[in-house]
Amino acid sequence: MPWNWPNTLTWLRIFAIPLIALLFYMPYPWRYPAAGLLFAAAGITDSLDGYLARRLGQTSRLGAFLDPVADKLIVAVALVLLVSQDPSRLITLTAAVIIGREITISALREWMAEIGQRRKVAVSQLGKYKTILQIVGLSFMLFRVPLLGLPIYKIGVVLTVIAAAATLVSMVAYLRAAWPELRR
């Protein structure tokens, strides 16, 4: 069933992508907090759609396809937005690592599915922690402005750099799991 609650949440996350970009570039002082909060809300739907799909028995092929696509798109767009405002080496390298890893693992999962070995590269617990770090870190970086005296942007950078390191560690784990098939 293509129109169920989990898929609707995933579609909302996809529709939020251009809104986040639009908010980020608006000429108003509240643009960054609005973009950061919308990104955070979209990140929450990432956990919620999977939970609802399992809880309500509404898993679908469309949802299984759209969910990771929505995740990759929103993270990549957020990283591009951030690099456009802060093209420092640290931010650019962090963005390149995260986007490069996502492309690599997506291709690996697709190939492993084609040969019937998708389970070997299923999402790991480290991958889930990495996603949480990314969502919180990128939300803070998009929010940009200090909040209650806290340097939100700097905290976001630290969390996103840690997420980038976790992406590399998880990528190595996925590649090791797939290595016997890759060698054939």
Q: Domains in the chain, start-ordered, CATH in brackets?
A: 5-183 (1.20.120.1760)
Question: Which pair of tokens denotes residue 68?
Answer: 């990771």
Dump pLDDT digits (tens) for 69-104.
999 999 999 999 999 999 999 999 999 999 999 999
Q: What is the mean pLDDT of the chain?
A: 92
116 band by pLDDT with thresholds 50, 70 and 90: confident
119 band by pLDDT with thresholds 50, 70 and 90: confident
Q: Is 23 left (phi over 0), alpha (psi -120 to 50) or beta?
A: alpha
List of residues 6+ apart from 173 with CB closer than 8 A = 124, 126
Least confident of 33-37, 47-51, 167-171: 47-51
Dump pLDDT digits (tens) for 2-26.
678 889 999 999 999 999 999 999 9
